[in-house]
Structure 1
Amino acid sequence: MAPRSSKSKKRPDPFRVATLSGIEGDKNHHLTGPFLPQTPLGGASPTQSRSTSPTVSRASAAHAANRSALIRWVVQPALAFKLLLLPLLLWVNWMLVAPYLNPGVGNPFSVFIISGHIPTSSPSDPLYRKTWWDLPFIAYYIVVFSFIRESLSSKVSRPLAKYFGIRNENKIDRFAEQMYALVYFTVFGAWGYRVMAQLPSYWYNTSAFWDAYPSWAIKPELKAYYLIQFAYWWQQLLVLILGLEKPRKDYLELVAHHFVTLWLIGWSYITNHTLIGNAVYMSMDIPDAFLALSKLLNYIQWNTAKTYAFGVFFLIWTYFRHYLNIWILWSVWFESSDIPEWTKKWSWSEGVYMPAWMPYQIFVPLLLLQGLNLFWYSLMTKILIRGIMTSEVDDHRSDDEGGDEDEHDRKED
């Protein structure tokens, strides 16, 4: 086979990170790894049989088949779909039969519908409260996200990666991960904005976090948004713990990030701080959508588009994950004392949970989250500085992810 001409050429790439030392130059780092130079496109037609590694594909299939039946639904969309279909069928059956056998009894299979409607709320502005049925609702949507993730990967992302000439199996998996992230964070970033527009805390009016406390009676859309986000992060943690993604260099930081996020979501929901929760969601989701887009553009080597996308992403990350998050921290520290005096206690019956120590419990996880964001921000800043100072980068296979597969391709050549 004739050698590829792209091996001997240099291609402009404003983000030269191949020479970075330490973690910011590690190809297995979740943030900086995708910005390393990528294997040249056009090395093999997407329709050629060697666009994937048969050895890796067989190994992956065997690995999935050997999983416990209790977790196989996480990686098998067909099984996840069956699990999702079962409550639907039971719900329909109950709706058809129960009116004749046991009229007036609520449908116990409505696990995919939010519960807790407050009967005394206005029909034109219904409100909802927390219930124990929130738990099966979250569990149901964990399965939903597993189904969406694997279906999107197999039906859209992987074929698209091959269309763009990506052969390396590990890189195809990374491409699929980022495509899923782009879809999710774009949808939920937009949904989060829509939800916030209905709240008194619109565009980080932080005083409303405390003036409107306790937010125990919430709009149905806010409740659905909150719980479905909670389900997403549980599913993401499940993916990490079960090793469904190849571990990155910053695996421990990612696990810590997921735990802190789940802590914030769960605790804010229980203690009726959903206005703060929505604000934090927004500050995290929107920049993550631009991060995923930048990674995808780098994988397919649209270098000019990637350059602009990374620049926009850096500015958006700075504004949302630092300026706005620090503003929220400031509010917790200085404005939390403005809550109504009667709420400065712990009372399950009244739905208030703001004794003197609670502001610290809110502040600490937000501060930990900001620390993780600053850790990643320092790495991104190094990428940006080197991108400004460097205009070219060599295309070497050694920079690629998945060295074993690259060695396999070189032998074929």
Structure 2
Amino acid sequence: MYILAPLSRALGIPRGKTERFTEQGYAVAYFGFFGALGIYVMSGLPIWWYNTAAMWDTFPVLEMPALLKAYYLLQFSYWLQQTIILAARVEKPRKDFKELVAHHVVTLWLIGWSYLTTLTYIGVAIFVTMDVSDIFLALAKCVNYVSESASVPVFAFFVCVWTYMRHYLNLKILWSVWYEFELIPESARTSFRPWWNENELMNGWIQNHIFLPIFLLQLINLFWYFLILRILYRAVFGNPLADERSDDENEREVAEDVQEIEDEKADLHAKTQ
């Protein structure tokens, strides 16, 4: 607040939008840090830039480096905190409130299950796709608060990043879970779980509980992708660039701006009496 709020005023952003600007500015800083950290962590792993085969032929990852473990647990704490905030309705619910809750619950499911089954390399790969794309989403919103026309190219670039990170790469991971799962060495299966080879149902259960949350995340991302493309279409064809999820909030911000003007008029009238 001590940096972003003054910056908001310096950029001429209406007071009613200052809170939203500071929230998105914080998001740029947060996801910028964790996006960079995730890429750094991934660069030291065999899965570096989505070498999906290494997610399986290195299994099990029984010893996690300190940085990888800290990164994983920090991600878990963030998504748990966000889920609690949503459940408690600390913030005003958006139109996609149900999708947000589902996204957070599924993400926690994926984090917990991948951690328990030592498939943490998959978790790191998905964290990077989420954090990097969220950097440019928040940045596009910040620029939009300053200038709608200037935000169009930023938003278009964000759409490209989102398409690559949240769809192409996540679908690549899904394909790997379905088709490359068998790359896990037999010796690793036997040493990791003595009952694995004795029970093929358990084998499939572990695979399905990795595939299913990633698949559900992809469905939710596709829902948001539709909204994103609709925003981009409206922006390109001359309509205002606005967050499809925030119509009610925008109306409230307009009302706050009108009230601010009315208050200033009242103060001026009182001084002239």
- TM bin (shorter chain): 0.7 to 0.9
**Aligned residue among 72, 76, 79 for 1:230:** 76
State the one-letter code of the partner of 2:155: F
State the one-letter code of the partner of 2:257: D
Q: How does 1:333-348 map to 2 (within 5 A)?
A: 333-344=178-189
Contact 1:344 1:356 in 2 (8 A): no
Indicate the SS of the match to 1:161: helix
Whether 1:365 aligns to 2:210 is no
How far residue 249 of structure 1 moved from its aligned partner, in angstroms, is 1.2
How far residue 262 of structure 1 moved from its aligned partner, in angstroms, is 1.1
Partners in 2 of 1:308 and 1:211 — Cα distance? Answer: 41
Q: How does 1:12-411 map to 2 (within 5 A)?
A: 154-169=1-16, 171-301=17-147, 303-304=149-150, 306-344=151-189, 355-390=203-238, 400-411=251-262
Contact 1:346 1:355 in 2 (8 A): no
Contact 2:234 2:240 in 1 (8 A): no
Indicate the SS of the match to 1:166: coil
Partners in 1 of 2:143 and 2:137 — Cα distance? Answer: 10
How far residue 386 of structure 1 moved from its aligned partner, in angstroms, is 2.1
How far residue 156 of structure 1 moved from its aligned partner, in angstroms, is 2.2
Q: Which moved more, 1:340-349 or 1:204-213?
A: 340-349
Contact 1:207 1:331 in 2 (8 A): yes
Contact 2:21 2:142 in 1 (8 A): yes
Contact 2:60 2:192 in 1 (8 A): no
Contact 2:174 2:211 in 1 (8 A): yes
The TM-score normalised by the length of structure 2 is: 0.84
Higher relative contact order (CA 8 A, sep 6+): 1
Partners in 1 of 2:93 and 2:240 — Cα distance? Answer: 29
Larger Cα Rg: Structure 1 or Structure 2? Answer: 1
How far residue 348 of structure 1 moved from its aligned partner, in angstroms, is 6.5
Contact 1:214 1:351 in 2 (8 A): no
Partners in 1 of 2:207 and 2:69 — Cα distance? Answer: 23
How far residue 347 of structure 1 moved from its aligned partner, in angstroms, is 5.6
How far residue 410 of structure 1 moved from its aligned partner, in angstroms, is 4.3
5+ long unaligned stretches in structure 1: 1-153
- Name 1:46's counterpart in structure 2: none
Q: Residues 221-253 of structure 1: CA distance to partner in whole angstroms, max 9, x if unpaired?
A: 111111111111122223222333222111111
Partners in 2 of 1:291 and 1:375 — Cα distance? Answer: 15
State the one-letter code of the partner of 2:25: M
Q: Is the helix fraction higher in 1 or 2?
A: 2
Indicate the SS of the match to 1:359: helix
How far residue 267 of structure 1 moved from its aligned partner, in angstroms, is 1.3
- Provide the identity percentage: 47
Q: Which moved more, 1:310-319 or 1:377-386?
A: 377-386
